[in-house]
Structure 1
Protein backbone atom coordinates (compact mmCIF):
# COMPACT_ATOMS: atom_id res chain seq x y z
CA UNK A 1 0.00 0.00 0.00
CA UNK A 2 1.27 3.43 -0.94
CA UNK A 3 1.47 5.91 1.91
CA UNK A 4 -0.75 8.98 1.60
CA UNK A 5 -0.44 12.20 3.58
CA UNK A 6 -4.13 13.13 3.74
CA UNK A 7 -6.09 9.88 3.51
CA UNK A 8 -5.98 6.12 3.91
CA UNK A 9 -6.97 3.48 1.37
CA UNK A 10 -7.95 -0.13 1.85
CA UNK A 11 -9.91 -2.81 0.04
CA UNK A 12 -12.31 -4.87 2.13
CA UNK A 13 -14.04 -7.53 0.09
CA UNK A 14 -15.83 -5.72 -2.75
CA UNK A 15 -15.54 -2.30 -1.09
CA UNK A 16 -12.69 0.20 -1.49
CA UNK A 17 -12.59 2.50 1.54
CA UNK A 18 -11.05 5.96 1.16
CA UNK A 19 -10.90 7.83 4.47
CA UNK A 20 -9.69 11.39 4.99
CA UNK A 21 -7.14 11.15 7.76
CA UNK A 22 -6.23 14.56 9.15
CA UNK A 23 -8.64 14.50 12.11
CA UNK A 24 -6.59 16.97 14.13
CA UNK A 25 -7.21 19.52 11.35
CA UNK A 26 -10.83 18.62 10.63
CA UNK A 27 -9.63 16.73 7.53
CA UNK A 28 -8.95 20.11 5.94
CA UNK A 29 -7.86 20.10 2.30
CA UNK A 30 -4.22 20.63 1.32
CA UNK A 31 -2.59 20.58 -2.12
CA UNK A 32 -2.01 16.85 -1.61
CA UNK A 33 -5.69 16.03 -1.14
CA UNK A 34 -7.00 16.11 -4.73
CA UNK A 35 -3.92 14.33 -6.08
CA UNK A 36 -4.15 11.56 -3.51
CA UNK A 37 -7.92 11.28 -3.85
CA UNK A 38 -7.68 10.86 -7.63
CA UNK A 39 -4.94 8.26 -7.22
CA UNK A 40 -6.96 6.26 -4.68
CA UNK A 41 -10.10 6.41 -6.84
CA UNK A 42 -8.16 5.20 -9.87
CA UNK A 43 -6.72 2.29 -7.87
CA UNK A 44 -10.22 1.26 -6.85
CA UNK A 45 -11.65 1.79 -10.31
CA UNK A 46 -9.10 -0.53 -11.94
CA UNK A 47 -9.18 -3.18 -9.19
CA UNK A 48 -11.27 -6.12 -10.37
CA UNK A 49 -12.17 -6.98 -6.76
CA UNK A 50 -13.83 -3.61 -6.10
CA UNK A 51 -17.51 -2.98 -6.87
CA UNK A 52 -18.11 0.23 -4.90
CA UNK A 53 -16.02 3.06 -3.39
CA UNK A 54 -16.87 4.45 0.05
CA UNK A 55 -15.55 7.90 1.01
CA UNK A 56 -15.60 9.11 4.61
CA UNK A 57 -13.67 11.17 7.14
CA UNK A 58 -11.90 10.20 10.35
CA UNK A 59 -12.51 12.13 13.57
CA UNK A 60 -15.20 14.68 14.37
CA UNK A 61 -16.30 15.43 10.82
CA UNK A 62 -16.07 14.59 7.12
CA UNK A 63 -14.16 17.63 5.90
CA UNK A 64 -13.98 21.24 7.06
CA UNK A 65 -12.87 22.75 3.76
CA UNK A 66 -9.50 24.13 2.74
CA UNK A 67 -6.67 24.41 5.26
CA UNK A 68 -6.46 28.18 5.09
CA UNK A 69 -4.02 28.20 7.99
CA UNK A 70 -1.44 26.59 5.71
CA UNK A 71 -2.08 29.25 3.11
CA UNK A 72 -1.54 32.01 5.66
CA UNK A 73 1.74 30.40 6.72
CA UNK A 74 2.95 30.19 3.14
CA UNK A 75 3.02 26.38 3.11
CA UNK A 76 0.24 24.82 1.06
CA UNK A 77 1.93 21.45 0.91
CA UNK A 78 2.58 21.81 -2.81
CA UNK A 79 5.22 19.85 -4.65
CA UNK A 80 7.74 21.22 -7.11
CA UNK A 81 10.43 23.85 -6.94
CA UNK A 82 9.22 27.07 -5.33
CA UNK A 83 8.24 29.71 -7.84
CA UNK A 84 7.93 27.41 -10.86
CA UNK A 85 4.49 25.83 -10.42
CA UNK A 86 1.04 27.39 -10.14
CA UNK A 87 0.54 25.03 -7.19
CA UNK A 88 3.43 26.53 -5.23
CA UNK A 89 2.46 28.60 -2.24
CA UNK A 90 4.86 31.38 -3.21
CA UNK A 91 3.26 31.76 -6.64
CA UNK A 92 -0.26 31.89 -5.22
CA UNK A 93 0.66 34.23 -2.38
CA UNK A 94 2.26 36.65 -4.82
CA UNK A 95 -0.81 36.44 -7.06
CA UNK A 96 -3.00 37.33 -4.06
CA UNK A 97 -0.94 40.38 -3.15
CA UNK A 98 -3.24 43.44 -3.49
CA UNK A 99 -0.21 45.53 -4.49
CA UNK A 100 0.44 43.35 -7.54
CA UNK A 101 -1.54 42.74 -10.72
CA UNK A 102 -3.76 39.71 -10.29
CA UNK A 103 -3.52 37.04 -12.99
CA UNK A 104 -6.90 35.25 -12.95
CA UNK A 105 -5.61 32.35 -15.01
CA UNK A 106 -2.92 31.50 -12.46
CA UNK A 107 -5.76 31.32 -9.94
CA UNK A 108 -7.84 29.23 -12.34
CA UNK A 109 -5.00 26.81 -13.08
CA UNK A 110 -4.63 26.05 -9.40
CA UNK A 111 -8.32 25.67 -8.50
CA UNK A 112 -9.22 23.73 -11.64
CA UNK A 113 -6.67 21.10 -10.65
CA UNK A 114 -8.26 20.71 -7.25
CA UNK A 115 -11.60 20.26 -9.02
CA UNK A 116 -10.20 17.60 -11.34
CA UNK A 117 -9.14 15.55 -8.35
CA UNK A 118 -12.59 15.77 -6.78
CA UNK A 119 -14.28 15.00 -10.11
CA UNK A 120 -12.56 11.60 -10.16
CA UNK A 121 -15.42 10.50 -7.87
CA UNK A 122 -18.03 11.44 -10.46
CA UNK A 123 -16.13 10.13 -13.47
CA UNK A 124 -15.04 6.86 -11.90
CA UNK A 125 -16.65 3.91 -13.67
CA UNK A 126 -17.73 2.42 -10.35
CA UNK A 127 -20.27 3.94 -7.95
CA UNK A 128 -19.03 6.22 -5.19
CA UNK A 129 -20.75 6.71 -1.83
CA UNK A 130 -19.98 9.54 0.61
CA UNK A 131 -20.68 9.12 4.33
CA UNK A 132 -20.98 12.51 6.04
CA UNK A 133 -20.86 13.10 9.79
CA UNK A 134 -20.11 16.08 12.00
CA UNK A 135 -19.49 18.67 9.30
CA UNK A 136 -19.09 18.83 5.54
CA UNK A 137 -18.54 22.48 4.73
CA UNK A 138 -16.92 24.72 2.12
CA UNK A 139 -14.43 22.68 0.07
CA UNK A 140 -15.66 19.55 1.81
CA UNK A 141 -18.94 19.91 -0.07
CA UNK A 142 -17.02 20.32 -3.34
CA UNK A 143 -15.76 16.80 -2.74
CA UNK A 144 -18.93 15.16 -1.41
CA UNK A 145 -21.23 16.49 -4.14
CA UNK A 146 -19.23 14.54 -6.74
CA UNK A 147 -20.32 11.24 -5.21
CA UNK A 148 -23.15 9.16 -6.67
CA UNK A 149 -24.82 8.58 -3.30
CA UNK A 150 -24.58 10.66 -0.12
CA UNK A 151 -25.56 9.21 3.26
CA UNK A 152 -25.55 11.57 6.23
CA UNK A 153 -25.92 11.75 9.98
CA UNK A 154 -29.08 13.56 11.09
CA UNK A 155 -27.03 16.26 12.81
CA UNK A 156 -24.27 16.77 10.23
CA UNK A 157 -23.88 20.40 9.15
CA UNK A 158 -23.60 20.98 5.40
CA UNK A 159 -23.07 24.21 3.48
CA UNK A 160 -20.74 26.78 1.95
CA UNK A 161 -20.27 29.73 4.37
CA UNK A 162 -17.38 31.22 2.31
CA UNK A 163 -19.97 32.76 -0.02
CA UNK A 164 -20.32 35.41 2.71
CA UNK A 165 -16.81 36.57 1.80
CA UNK A 166 -13.89 35.11 -0.11
CA UNK A 167 -15.45 32.21 -1.98
CA UNK A 168 -17.77 30.75 -4.63
CA UNK A 169 -18.18 26.93 -4.85
CA UNK A 170 -15.64 26.25 -7.57
CA UNK A 171 -17.08 22.94 -8.73
CA UNK A 172 -20.46 24.51 -9.57
CA UNK A 173 -22.50 21.48 -8.51
CA UNK A 174 -25.06 22.95 -6.12
CA UNK A 175 -27.74 23.80 -8.69
CA UNK A 176 -27.30 20.44 -10.38
CA UNK A 177 -27.76 18.60 -7.08
CA UNK A 178 -30.41 20.79 -5.41
CA UNK A 179 -32.10 22.73 -8.18
CA UNK A 180 -32.05 26.49 -8.69
CA UNK A 181 -34.17 27.71 -5.77
CA UNK A 182 -32.64 25.65 -2.99
CA UNK A 183 -29.08 26.12 -4.23
CA UNK A 184 -29.60 29.88 -4.19
CA UNK A 185 -31.20 29.71 -0.75
CA UNK A 186 -27.97 28.26 0.64
CA UNK A 187 -25.41 30.18 -1.39
CA UNK A 188 -27.07 33.59 -1.16
CA UNK A 189 -26.82 33.36 2.64
CA UNK A 190 -23.95 30.98 3.38
CA UNK A 191 -26.30 29.13 5.73
CA UNK A 192 -25.85 25.48 6.74
CA UNK A 193 -28.43 22.71 6.69
CA UNK A 194 -28.65 19.53 8.74
CA UNK A 195 -28.54 15.98 7.47
CA UNK A 196 -32.30 15.66 7.82
CA UNK A 197 -32.80 18.78 5.71
CA UNK A 198 -30.31 17.47 3.16
CA UNK A 199 -32.52 14.44 2.59
CA UNK A 200 -35.68 16.55 2.40
CA UNK A 201 -34.01 18.77 -0.18
CA UNK A 202 -32.66 15.87 -2.26
CA UNK A 203 -29.00 16.52 -1.49
CA UNK A 204 -28.58 13.19 0.34
CA UNK A 205 -30.29 9.84 -0.13
CA UNK A 206 -30.45 8.74 3.53
CA UNK A 207 -30.15 10.36 6.97
CA UNK A 208 -29.67 8.45 10.21
CA UNK A 209 -28.88 9.12 13.88
CA UNK A 210 -25.13 9.58 14.26
CA UNK A 211 -24.73 6.39 16.25
CA UNK A 212 -26.39 4.39 13.44
CA UNK A 213 -24.64 6.05 10.51
CA UNK A 214 -21.83 3.52 10.09
CA UNK A 215 -24.11 0.48 10.17
CA UNK A 216 -26.77 1.97 7.90
CA UNK A 217 -24.20 3.18 5.38
CA UNK A 218 -22.55 -0.22 5.43
CA UNK A 219 -25.88 -1.86 4.65
CA UNK A 220 -26.31 0.32 1.56
CA UNK A 221 -22.74 -0.19 0.40
CA UNK A 222 -23.03 -3.97 0.72
CA UNK A 223 -26.28 -3.98 -1.30
CA UNK A 224 -24.52 -2.07 -4.07
CA UNK A 225 -21.50 -4.37 -3.81
CA UNK A 226 -23.76 -7.40 -4.35
CA UNK A 227 -24.52 -6.21 -7.88
CA UNK A 228 -22.46 -7.44 -10.85
CA UNK A 229 -19.62 -5.06 -11.53
CA UNK A 230 -20.52 -4.62 -15.19
CA UNK A 231 -24.11 -3.72 -14.31
CA UNK A 232 -22.93 -1.05 -11.90
CA UNK A 233 -20.68 0.50 -14.53
CA UNK A 234 -23.37 0.50 -17.20
CA UNK A 235 -25.99 2.03 -14.90
CA UNK A 236 -23.62 4.77 -13.71
CA UNK A 237 -22.53 5.65 -17.25
CA UNK A 238 -26.13 5.82 -18.43
CA UNK A 239 -27.29 8.03 -15.56
CA UNK A 240 -24.18 10.24 -15.64
CA UNK A 241 -24.93 11.06 -19.27
CA UNK A 242 -28.04 12.96 -18.14
CA UNK A 243 -26.11 14.85 -15.44
CA UNK A 244 -23.29 15.78 -17.80
CA UNK A 245 -25.79 16.93 -20.42
CA UNK A 246 -26.96 19.55 -17.91
CA UNK A 247 -23.62 21.30 -18.34
CA UNK A 248 -21.70 20.29 -15.22
CA UNK A 249 -18.35 21.00 -16.90
CA UNK A 250 -19.42 24.51 -17.92
CA UNK A 251 -20.79 25.23 -14.44
CA UNK A 252 -17.47 24.19 -12.94
CA UNK A 253 -15.44 26.36 -15.31
CA UNK A 254 -17.54 29.48 -14.68
CA UNK A 255 -17.69 28.90 -10.92
CA UNK A 256 -13.93 28.42 -10.69
CA UNK A 257 -13.34 31.78 -12.39
CA UNK A 258 -15.76 33.52 -10.03
CA UNK A 259 -14.20 31.78 -7.04
CA UNK A 260 -10.92 33.44 -7.97
CA UNK A 261 -12.59 36.81 -8.48
CA UNK A 262 -14.27 36.60 -5.06
CA UNK A 263 -10.85 36.61 -3.39
CA UNK A 264 -9.88 39.79 -5.22
CA UNK A 265 -12.76 42.08 -4.36
CA UNK A 266 -12.56 44.76 -1.68
CA UNK A 267 -14.36 42.41 0.69
CA UNK A 268 -12.10 39.53 -0.28
CA UNK A 269 -8.94 41.49 0.38
CA UNK A 270 -10.43 42.78 3.61
CA UNK A 271 -11.19 39.28 4.83
CA UNK A 272 -7.71 38.05 3.93
CA UNK A 273 -6.08 41.00 5.68
CA UNK A 274 -8.15 40.42 8.80
CA UNK A 275 -7.14 36.75 8.75
CA UNK A 276 -3.47 37.75 8.70
CA UNK A 277 -3.99 40.17 11.58
CA UNK A 278 -6.22 38.08 13.86
CA UNK A 279 -6.06 34.54 12.47
CA UNK A 280 -8.52 32.70 10.24
CA UNK A 281 -10.75 31.53 13.09
CA UNK A 282 -11.32 35.07 14.30
CA UNK A 283 -11.82 36.39 10.76
CA UNK A 284 -14.43 33.69 10.15
CA UNK A 285 -16.13 34.45 13.47
CA UNK A 286 -16.40 38.13 12.54
CA UNK A 287 -17.67 37.22 9.05
CA UNK A 288 -20.43 35.03 10.50
CA UNK A 289 -21.42 37.25 13.42
CA UNK A 290 -24.02 39.31 11.51
CA UNK A 291 -25.77 36.07 10.52
CA UNK A 292 -26.12 34.91 14.11
CA UNK A 293 -24.21 31.65 13.68
CA UNK A 294 -20.64 32.67 14.54
CA UNK A 295 -18.52 30.17 16.45
CA UNK A 296 -16.07 31.27 19.19
CA UNK A 297 -12.65 32.06 17.75
Structure 2
Protein backbone atom coordinates (compact mmCIF):
# COMPACT_ATOMS: atom_id res chain seq x y z
CA UNK A 1 0.00 0.00 0.00
CA UNK A 2 2.76 2.41 0.90
CA UNK A 3 4.62 1.65 -2.33
CA UNK A 4 1.51 2.65 -4.30
CA UNK A 5 1.19 5.80 -2.21
CA UNK A 6 4.79 6.86 -2.73
CA UNK A 7 4.78 6.27 -6.49
CA UNK A 8 1.40 7.86 -7.09
CA UNK A 9 2.72 11.30 -6.18
CA UNK A 10 5.04 10.97 -9.16
CA UNK A 11 2.32 9.84 -11.55
CA UNK A 12 0.05 12.68 -10.46
CA UNK A 13 2.69 15.39 -10.82
CA UNK A 14 4.15 14.23 -14.12
CA UNK A 15 0.69 13.65 -15.63
CA UNK A 16 -0.38 17.18 -14.77
CA UNK A 17 2.80 18.58 -16.29
CA UNK A 18 2.56 16.49 -19.46
CA UNK A 19 -0.98 17.70 -20.12
CA UNK A 20 0.28 21.28 -20.35
CA UNK A 21 3.07 20.46 -22.81
CA UNK A 22 3.19 19.65 -26.51
CA UNK A 23 3.99 16.00 -27.27
CA UNK A 24 7.65 16.62 -28.14
CA UNK A 25 8.26 18.60 -24.95
CA UNK A 26 6.44 16.05 -22.78
CA UNK A 27 8.59 13.03 -23.64
CA UNK A 28 10.43 12.94 -20.32
CA UNK A 29 7.29 13.57 -18.26
CA UNK A 30 5.42 10.80 -20.08
CA UNK A 31 8.32 8.42 -19.49
CA UNK A 32 8.20 9.17 -15.78
CA UNK A 33 4.43 8.63 -15.76
CA UNK A 34 4.89 5.23 -17.39
CA UNK A 35 7.51 4.22 -14.84
CA UNK A 36 5.38 5.33 -11.88
CA UNK A 37 2.32 3.53 -13.23
CA UNK A 38 4.23 0.26 -13.55
CA UNK A 39 5.35 0.48 -9.91
CA UNK A 40 1.83 1.32 -8.72
CA UNK A 41 0.28 -1.53 -10.70
CA UNK A 42 2.83 -3.98 -9.29
CA UNK A 43 2.11 -2.80 -5.74
CA UNK A 44 -1.65 -2.99 -6.15
CA UNK A 45 -1.35 -6.49 -7.61
CA UNK A 46 -0.13 -7.68 -4.19
CA UNK A 47 -3.42 -6.71 -2.51
CA UNK A 48 -5.10 -9.64 -0.77
CA UNK A 49 -7.66 -11.35 -2.98
CA UNK A 50 -9.89 -12.12 -0.03
CA UNK A 51 -10.62 -8.61 1.24
CA UNK A 52 -14.23 -9.58 2.16
CA UNK A 53 -12.84 -12.28 4.48
CA UNK A 54 -10.68 -9.92 6.57
CA UNK A 55 -11.94 -9.89 10.17
CA UNK A 56 -11.16 -6.24 10.98
CA UNK A 57 -14.04 -4.19 9.54
CA UNK A 58 -12.07 -0.92 9.40
CA UNK A 59 -9.20 -2.51 7.49
CA UNK A 60 -11.60 -4.35 5.20
CA UNK A 61 -13.38 -1.09 4.35
CA UNK A 62 -10.14 0.86 3.85
CA UNK A 63 -8.67 -1.75 1.50
CA UNK A 64 -11.89 -1.87 -0.51
CA UNK A 65 -11.88 1.94 -0.80
CA UNK A 66 -8.27 1.90 -1.97
CA UNK A 67 -9.18 -0.66 -4.62
CA UNK A 68 -12.11 1.49 -5.77
CA UNK A 69 -9.87 4.54 -6.09
CA UNK A 70 -7.36 2.47 -8.04
CA UNK A 71 -10.07 1.42 -10.50
CA UNK A 72 -11.11 5.07 -10.91
CA UNK A 73 -7.46 5.93 -11.48
CA UNK A 74 -7.21 3.46 -14.35
CA UNK A 75 -10.21 5.12 -16.02
CA UNK A 76 -8.64 8.56 -15.60
CA UNK A 77 -5.38 7.26 -17.05
CA UNK A 78 -7.21 6.36 -20.25
CA UNK A 79 -8.52 9.90 -20.58
CA UNK A 80 -5.07 11.35 -19.92
CA UNK A 81 -3.45 9.10 -22.52
CA UNK A 82 -6.09 9.97 -25.12
CA UNK A 83 -5.61 13.67 -24.41
CA UNK A 84 -1.84 13.45 -24.84
CA UNK A 85 -2.32 12.34 -28.46
CA UNK A 86 -4.00 15.68 -29.22
CA UNK A 87 -2.59 19.13 -29.79
CA UNK A 88 -2.50 21.14 -26.56
CA UNK A 89 -5.24 23.46 -27.84
CA UNK A 90 -7.55 20.51 -28.51
CA UNK A 91 -7.20 18.83 -25.12
CA UNK A 92 -10.19 18.79 -22.75
CA UNK A 93 -10.21 21.97 -20.70
CA UNK A 94 -9.46 21.47 -17.04
CA UNK A 95 -8.22 17.88 -17.30
CA UNK A 96 -4.87 18.82 -15.77
CA UNK A 97 -6.67 20.28 -12.75
CA UNK A 98 -8.90 17.21 -12.55
CA UNK A 99 -5.77 15.06 -12.40
CA UNK A 100 -4.51 17.10 -9.46
CA UNK A 101 -7.85 17.14 -7.60
CA UNK A 102 -8.43 13.43 -8.12
CA UNK A 103 -4.83 12.88 -7.09
CA UNK A 104 -5.46 14.63 -3.77
CA UNK A 105 -8.39 12.30 -3.11
CA UNK A 106 -6.38 9.23 -4.08
CA UNK A 107 -3.39 10.27 -1.98
CA UNK A 108 -5.63 10.71 1.06
CA UNK A 109 -7.24 7.30 0.54
CA UNK A 110 -3.91 5.52 0.07
CA UNK A 111 -2.37 7.39 3.01
CA UNK A 112 -5.30 6.68 5.34
CA UNK A 113 -5.17 3.00 4.43
CA UNK A 114 -1.42 2.84 4.99
CA UNK A 115 -1.73 4.54 8.39
CA UNK A 116 -4.51 2.16 9.43
CA UNK A 117 -2.42 -0.86 8.48
CA UNK A 118 0.57 0.55 10.35
CA UNK A 119 -1.55 1.08 13.46
CA UNK A 120 -2.56 -2.56 13.34
CA UNK A 121 1.06 -3.63 12.91
CA UNK A 122 2.06 -1.51 15.91
CA UNK A 123 -0.37 -3.40 18.14
CA UNK A 124 1.39 -6.63 17.20
CA UNK A 125 4.88 -5.45 18.13
CA UNK A 126 5.66 -2.29 20.10
CA UNK A 127 9.25 -2.32 18.83
CA UNK A 128 7.86 -1.29 15.45
CA UNK A 129 6.85 2.12 16.80
CA UNK A 130 10.24 3.67 16.06
CA UNK A 131 10.27 2.47 12.46
CA UNK A 132 6.70 3.57 11.90
CA UNK A 133 7.46 7.04 13.27
CA UNK A 134 10.39 7.33 10.88
CA UNK A 135 8.14 6.23 8.03
CA UNK A 136 5.45 8.74 8.98
CA UNK A 137 7.71 11.78 9.31
CA UNK A 138 9.82 10.92 6.26
CA UNK A 139 6.71 10.51 4.14
CA UNK A 140 5.29 13.77 5.49
CA UNK A 141 8.48 15.44 4.28
CA UNK A 142 8.15 13.87 0.83
CA UNK A 143 4.44 14.60 0.64
CA UNK A 144 4.63 18.25 1.66
CA UNK A 145 7.74 18.87 -0.43
CA UNK A 146 5.86 17.45 -3.40
CA UNK A 147 2.86 19.68 -2.73
CA UNK A 148 5.10 22.75 -2.77
CA UNK A 149 6.65 21.53 -6.01
CA UNK A 150 3.24 21.35 -7.68
CA UNK A 151 2.72 25.09 -7.12
CA UNK A 152 6.16 25.83 -8.55
CA UNK A 153 5.38 23.59 -11.54
CA UNK A 154 2.29 25.64 -12.32
CA UNK A 155 4.28 28.86 -12.57
CA UNK A 156 7.02 27.23 -14.64
CA UNK A 157 4.69 25.57 -17.12
CA UNK A 158 2.83 28.85 -17.66
CA UNK A 159 6.06 30.90 -17.74
CA UNK A 160 4.95 33.39 -15.10
CA UNK A 161 5.70 34.54 -11.57
CA UNK A 162 4.25 32.84 -8.52
CA UNK A 163 1.03 34.44 -7.37
CA UNK A 164 0.87 35.76 -3.80
CA UNK A 165 -1.25 32.75 -2.88
CA UNK A 166 1.23 30.32 -4.43
CA UNK A 167 4.16 32.01 -2.72
CA UNK A 168 2.44 31.68 0.65
CA UNK A 169 1.57 28.08 -0.18
CA UNK A 170 5.18 27.19 -1.06
CA UNK A 171 6.56 28.87 2.06
CA UNK A 172 4.05 27.08 4.28
CA UNK A 173 4.68 23.64 2.84
CA UNK A 174 8.44 24.17 2.83
CA UNK A 175 8.27 24.89 6.57
CA UNK A 176 6.30 21.71 7.24
CA UNK A 177 8.71 19.71 5.07
CA UNK A 178 11.70 20.93 7.08
CA UNK A 179 9.94 20.35 10.39
CA UNK A 180 9.00 16.77 9.51
CA UNK A 181 12.51 16.02 8.29
CA UNK A 182 13.95 17.42 11.52
CA UNK A 183 11.73 14.94 13.39
CA UNK A 184 13.21 12.13 11.28
CA UNK A 185 16.66 13.37 12.22
CA UNK A 186 15.79 13.21 15.91
CA UNK A 187 14.61 9.62 15.59
CA UNK A 188 17.63 8.64 13.51
CA UNK A 189 19.94 9.69 16.36
CA UNK A 190 18.69 6.78 18.47
CA UNK A 191 21.56 4.45 19.37
CA UNK A 192 19.81 1.43 17.87
CA UNK A 193 19.44 2.97 14.39
CA UNK A 194 21.16 0.86 11.77
CA UNK A 195 24.05 2.31 9.72
CA UNK A 196 22.00 1.74 6.56
CA UNK A 197 19.14 3.93 7.73
CA UNK A 198 21.54 6.61 8.95
CA UNK A 199 23.22 6.62 5.54
CA UNK A 200 19.87 6.95 3.76
CA UNK A 201 18.91 9.86 5.99
CA UNK A 202 22.23 11.58 5.23
CA UNK A 203 21.62 11.05 1.51
CA UNK A 204 18.17 12.61 1.78
CA UNK A 205 19.58 15.57 3.68
CA UNK A 206 22.23 16.10 1.01
CA UNK A 207 19.97 15.51 -1.98
CA UNK A 208 17.06 17.76 -1.04
CA UNK A 209 17.99 20.16 1.75
CA UNK A 210 21.62 20.86 0.85
CA UNK A 211 23.85 20.71 -2.20
CA UNK A 212 23.27 21.79 -5.78
CA UNK A 213 19.54 21.06 -5.93
CA UNK A 214 18.77 23.10 -2.81
CA UNK A 215 20.80 26.02 -4.18
CA UNK A 216 19.07 25.90 -7.57
CA UNK A 217 15.64 25.55 -5.98
CA UNK A 218 16.24 28.56 -3.73
CA UNK A 219 17.36 30.62 -6.73
CA UNK A 220 14.31 29.44 -8.68
CA UNK A 221 11.82 30.39 -5.97
CA UNK A 222 13.41 33.81 -5.51
CA UNK A 223 13.31 34.39 -9.26
CA UNK A 224 9.67 33.38 -9.50
CA UNK A 225 8.74 36.11 -7.06
CA UNK A 226 9.49 38.67 -9.77
CA UNK A 227 8.58 36.86 -12.98
CA UNK A 228 9.39 33.85 -15.18
CA UNK A 229 12.59 32.01 -14.29
CA UNK A 230 15.16 30.23 -16.44
CA UNK A 231 16.83 28.34 -13.58
CA UNK A 232 14.75 25.27 -14.53
CA UNK A 233 12.44 24.59 -17.43
CA UNK A 234 9.37 22.56 -16.51
CA UNK A 235 10.79 19.24 -17.71
CA UNK A 236 14.09 19.70 -15.87
CA UNK A 237 12.25 20.85 -12.74
CA UNK A 238 9.84 17.91 -12.71
CA UNK A 239 12.61 15.36 -13.12
CA UNK A 240 15.19 16.93 -10.82
CA UNK A 241 12.80 17.78 -7.98
CA UNK A 242 11.16 14.36 -8.16
CA UNK A 243 14.56 12.67 -7.94
CA UNK A 244 15.56 14.81 -4.95
CA UNK A 245 12.26 14.14 -3.18
CA UNK A 246 12.70 10.47 -3.97
CA UNK A 247 15.55 10.36 -1.47
CA UNK A 248 13.12 11.40 1.28
CA UNK A 249 10.62 8.80 0.16
CA UNK A 250 13.40 6.19 0.17
CA UNK A 251 13.84 6.66 3.93
CA UNK A 252 10.11 6.15 4.45
CA UNK A 253 10.08 3.08 2.21
CA UNK A 254 13.10 1.55 3.95
CA UNK A 255 11.49 2.01 7.36
CA UNK A 256 8.20 0.57 6.14
CA UNK A 257 9.82 -2.45 4.49
CA UNK A 258 11.86 -3.23 7.58
CA UNK A 259 8.83 -2.96 9.85
CA UNK A 260 7.01 -5.38 7.53
CA UNK A 261 9.98 -7.75 7.53
CA UNK A 262 10.14 -7.70 11.31
CA UNK A 263 6.42 -8.41 11.55
CA UNK A 264 6.70 -11.37 9.20
CA UNK A 265 9.64 -12.90 11.05
CA UNK A 266 8.25 -12.28 14.52
CA UNK A 267 7.45 -15.53 16.27
CA UNK A 268 6.68 -14.45 19.83
CA UNK A 269 5.75 -11.07 21.33
CA UNK A 270 8.83 -9.07 22.40
CA UNK A 271 9.39 -8.53 26.13
CA UNK A 272 7.86 -5.35 27.49
CA UNK A 273 10.71 -2.95 28.19
CA UNK A 274 11.69 0.65 27.42
CA UNK A 275 12.67 1.42 23.83
CA UNK A 276 16.18 2.54 24.75
CA UNK A 277 16.96 -0.87 26.24
CA UNK A 278 15.97 -2.89 23.20
CA UNK A 279 18.36 -4.38 20.70
CA UNK A 280 18.93 -2.76 17.35
CA UNK A 281 15.84 -3.00 15.17
CA UNK A 282 16.41 -0.27 12.59
Name the structure where helix makes up a greater proportion of residues. 2
Q: Same fold per TM (> 0.5)?
A: no
TM-score normalised over the length of structure 1: 0.30
Structure number with higher relative contact order (C-alpha < 8 Å, ≥ 6 residues apart): 2
Q: Indicate the structure (1 or 2) with the bigger Cα radius of gyration.
A: 2
